[in-house]
Structure formats: C-alpha cells, structure tokens
Amino acid sequence: MSQLTRRRFVAGATTVAAATALATPRAQAQKTGGTLRFVAQADLKILDPVWTTAYITRNHAYLVYDTLFGTDEKLAVKPQMVDRHSVSKDGMKYAFTLRDGLRWHDGQAVAAEDCVESLKRWMKKDRFGRLLAAHTAKLAPADRKTFTLELGERFGPVLEALGKPSSNVPFMMPARIAATSADEQIKEIVGSGPFRFVKDEWQPGNQVVYVKHADYRPRNEAPSGSAGGKKVNLEKVVWRYMPDAATAAAALAAGEVDWWEIPPIDFIPTIEQTASLATFLPDPLGTQGWLRPNHLHPPFNNKKARQALVAMMSQETYLQAAIGVPKYYRTCPSVFACAGPYASKAGAEGLLHQNMERARQLVKESGYDGRPVTVVHVTDIGFLSGAALVTRDLLTQAGFTVDLKAVDWSTNLAVRAKKDPPDKGGWNVLHTWWMAADVMHPAVHFGVSGAGPGAWFGWPEIPQLEQLITEWVRATDQPKRKQLAEAIQRTALDEVAYVPWGEWFLPTAFRRNVTGIQKFIAPLFWNVSIG
C-alpha cells in the first residue's frame, strides 16, 4: 500500500522515520503526592464495568474498584481482596475469607455479602461468569468476612474466572449497588479501590477526576499487574479526552499532560526522539482486531453473506491501513491469541488467502437485495477508522452497497447495543479490538459465544458453539482442551461469528518524570509517581 493510500486511511497521522526500541519506565525512588494528567483512549461516558465491556470503562473501574483476585505480569492469579481461600478435596466447594481493613469509599466495611451480590451481578453479564454460574449450585455468605461457592457440576477454572483481568472484570461493589439489574447501569459509583471517583468534577467530553482513597490498605507485596500491593503515591489523577492526536502530542511534549495512553503508531518515533519523553509496551501479548457482523438483520443473518466477509479478508491490508508500521503488527489466522496456548490454523483457510471472486459469488448466492450495509465508522480512534475504511472498500468490491455511519467511540458503545434494523438506528458491521487476555481461551472469548440474545453485540445463535465451550470448561486435561478449542474455532469461522483481522502492539507514551507504570492490559495508577 502506498503512503498516499495509507494517509487516506489514517486520518491525522504523520509520516516519520522507523521507530526505535521501546523503553521500560526507569526505576528510581518514588515520590508521593501531586496530580497526574492522563490522556485516555476515549471519552468516558459509561461508568458501569458490568453493563459494558468497553475498555475505557474497565480502565476507569480499576481505579475505583478492587477485585477478589488479581492477575500478575505472567497471567498468574493471586489473592487481592481475599486473605485466604480453600478448596474441598473433590474440587466442588470453595471458601473465601476477606482481608482485614477493607472499606468502601463511603466508610462502610466491606462484607462477604457485598462480594456475593457483586459476583451474582457479574455472572449475569460476563461470558466467563455465565459459564461459572451455570455450574454453580450455591453462592452465599458464611459469616461477615467469608463466603462459599459450591459447584453443582465440575468446573476447572474457578479461580481464573474470579481473577479475570479484563472485560468484564468481576469488580466488587457494595451489595446495595450490586443489587441493580445487570441490564441497568448503576447510578452510584462507590468502590473500595485505591482511588475515588469525583462525580462533581466529571465533565463528559473533557475530563474525569479521581482522588486518593485515604482508607485504602494495600497488600504488603511487590506490585505485579493487578496483583500485589496497590500503593497510592498520587493525590489526584485527571483524565483528559483529546480526540485529536496532534493536540495530544503537543500537550505531552509541552508538559501539559504526563501520560498518553494510546498514541497512534505514526507518532511513536517522534515521541522517542524527544529527550523528555519515553514509550513503553504495557501488553507484549498483543491486541486482536475484529470485524463483527450483526446476525439479526439482512444481509448477515444469511450464512453465505457472512462467509463472504471471510473470503474478502486480507489481514495485511487491514493492518497496513490501521497500524501501518510492520514492526508493530502481525497477521494471525486464529480466533485465539497467537501468543496463547490455543492458537491454531484449524478451519482458517479463508483468513490465509483472500478470494474476492469467491466473496462475490457468496454474495450472489446469499440473495443479497442491494439494501445498504451500515458499517459503523469510529472516527476518534485511528486504527478503527482505518479498519472501517478498508471494510467499506472490500464490501463494495464484493458487491455490497455500503453506508458508513460515522460516530465517536463513546457513541459507538450506545449504537452497537441497538438491536433495531439499520434503517432504524441499528447496524450491520462494527469494528473493535480485544487484548490477548480477552481472546486467550474459549471461556473468556466473547467472539466465539453462540448464545443468541445472550451473546456479545451481533448476537449470533450457534448452539454447537455453546455445547463445545461447555465441554471445554469441564475438560480436565490439556490435550482434550486443545482439541475442543480447535473444534470451536472451526465452527466459529464456518458460521462467521466474527472475522479477526490480525494482531498488533500498542505502546504507551509518558514524560520521563513519570515512574512506576506497571506492565498490564489496562493503565494502572497505583505505584505510579510523578517527579
């Protein structure tokens, strides 16, 4: 792809020299106090991390809420709010006792009942949570600080579910708030995490403010990912929303902001050539791009029309347009993360070789009637904008009529939840991205759910997938799990639950006086200091 073509896809990007090696935040004595100013990936409009899977909401929640278990840099699950736990010899009953001194932001003590209600709400919404709930006979408090989980059927990855690091994370809330229906957004933001959300200073479209939770008691352990000691060194964290990359870059260089979550790849070399700035790769496992069809409405309620999306796929074209610099991306013909244990080429022939002639034939065989295909075009996240423009061109080549629906990311979160027909405000195709931790195995992977109304946006109804995934969580040996994962991939690609368009890596950028940034899939603000 020529530079001229690439500029058409990545709005606002600048052409620069090749990037230098990524740096790790310097180790130095940490200072306490001060305000850190952070440029977030999107505008925070939804505050409920159970109601949505959006990463911007997940990131917000990591400041405000705490978790029963954390996940360290090596993806090992470690106790966080839990002090100790036990498992019966038959593996069917778990008991969890909370740490001393845990308090909500309103001053009340955290109780086992709060955790039970929080888990029950999470289980109604999250992919992994629903699987756990289907195998649970009883979840209840035993006393003020202890609760038990009794399985009705064997379920191997219980702790992995409770320590799930990404969307939807099982964050703990007071029972009175967790009693809110999982289909309604919570209205009160009270957690027990290291920072408090300052509602009066929240300005959607501009800023979000968090202040130190004075009563937070970190574990007496070294930090690692979302596990270990969450020591708060900052008095305040201010998120800024800057959709224009050039504006954000200038603010970082001028010292008006301290940390920029996801700079466009095109800006990285210039940042690294600036003495006062540095970059860091917080998630070396990578990120997977998705093209997701809506299974409810024509034309993609027809299997052959969906299969045309696979036939037209050229991951290299998507990655060149969306990411641009080859050192930061790779093609990956797998629905499971290529850095994970279930990466496979099973059933992925269509992802390996583009066949536009086949795509056009499938469109004809589907009976497509020419009605416009509504493609959601997220305009304020560069790589999603680039992906949408590629999709428009490939759909057009395949024989579809295309209508681009331009929205910002936060508006997209509302649009994608609509089940209405496209001409009534709904959609046919959307684009998103998931970190490797969210596509590592079948129990966390929203894209391979075939639960119909209970599936992630797009709502595919594929009963065979649900049965295979149930078998996967019940399997106890790894060879059987790998066999089932391959069967899940074949089915997901044949039915076209979604189409992966490759993997990439997203550096973060910061001023060199910022120290203590953790390697993790979300930006974490504990242990961070500003000099």
- Which CATH number do you get for residue 412? 3.10.105.10
| pLDDT value at residue 28 | 42
Q: Please indicate, yes or no, if residue 301 is contained in any of the structural domains.
A: yes
- CA angle 337-61-49, nearest 5°? 70
424 by Cβ neighbours in 10 Å (0-12 / 13-18 / 19+) ranks as: exposed
The partner residues of 97 in beta bridges, in order of sequence, read 84, 146
| Sign of the alpha-carbon dihedral angle for 36, 38, 44, 49 | negative
Q: Please indicate, yes or no, if residue 265 is contained in any of the structural domains.
A: no
| pLDDT value at residue 134 | 97
What residue has token string 């899939």? Answer: 521
Q: Please indicate, yes or no, if residue 247 is contained in any of the structural domains.
A: no
The string over 242-253, giving b where at least 16 C-beta atoms fall within 10 Å of a residue's C-beta and e elsewhere, is: bbebeebbebbe
Q: How far apart are CA 14 and CA 245, in angstroms?
A: 10
Looking at the structure of the chain, the number of domains it has is 1
Q: Please indicate, yes or no, if residue 321 is contained in any of the structural domains.
A: yes
C-alpha to C-alpha distances, 378 to 430, 466, 517, 522, nearest whole angstrom: 9, 30, 28, 21
| pLDDT value at residue 476 | 82
Is 48 in contact with 167 (CB distance < 8 Å)? no
Q: Which pTM does this prediction carry?
A: 0.89
Is 315 in contact with 332 (CB distance < 8 Å)? yes
Ranges of H-type helices in 3-46: 3-9
CA-nearest of 290, 392, 283 to 334 is: 290
Q: Please indicate, yes or no, if residue 117 is contained in any of the structural domains.
A: no
SS3 per-residue string spanning 265-296: HHHHHHHHCCCCEEEECCCCCCEEEEEEECCC
Tens-of-pLDDT digits for all 531 residues of the chain? 433 333 333 333 333 233 333 444 544 444 578 999 999 999 999 999 999 999 999 999 999 999 999 999 988 999 999 999 999 999 999 999 999 999 999 999 999 999 999 999 999 999 999 999 999 999 999 999 999 999 999 998 999 999 999 999 999 999 999 999 999 999 999 999 999 999 999 999 999 999 999 999 999 999 999 999 999 999 999 999 999 999 999 999 999 999 999 999 999 999 999 999 999 999 999 999 999 999 999 999 999 999 999 999 999 999 999 999 999 999 999 999 999 999 999 999 999 999 999 999 999 999 999 999 999 999 999 999 999 999 999 999 999 999 999 999 999 999 999 999 999 999 999 999 999 999 999 999 999 999 999 999 999 999 999 999 999 999 988 999 999 999 999 999 999 999 999 999 999 999 999 999 999 999 999 999 999
Q: Please indicate, yes or no, if residue 424 is contained in any of the structural domains.
A: yes
| Sign of the alpha-carbon dihedral angle for 104, 516, 206, 436 | negative
Q: Please indicate, yes or no, if residue 147 is contained in any of the structural domains.
A: no
Q: Please indicate, yes or no, if residue 300 is contained in any of the structural domains.
A: yes
Q: How far apart are CA 81 and CA 139, in angstroms?
A: 17
| pLDDT value at residue 498 | 98
Q: How far apart are CA 91 and CA 379, in angstroms?
A: 48
| pLDDT value at residue 24 | 43
C-alpha to C-alpha distances, 352 to 312, 333, 347, 349, 481, nearest whole angstrom: 11, 6, 10, 5, 24
Which structural domain range is residue 418 located in? 287-504
Type of residue at 285: L
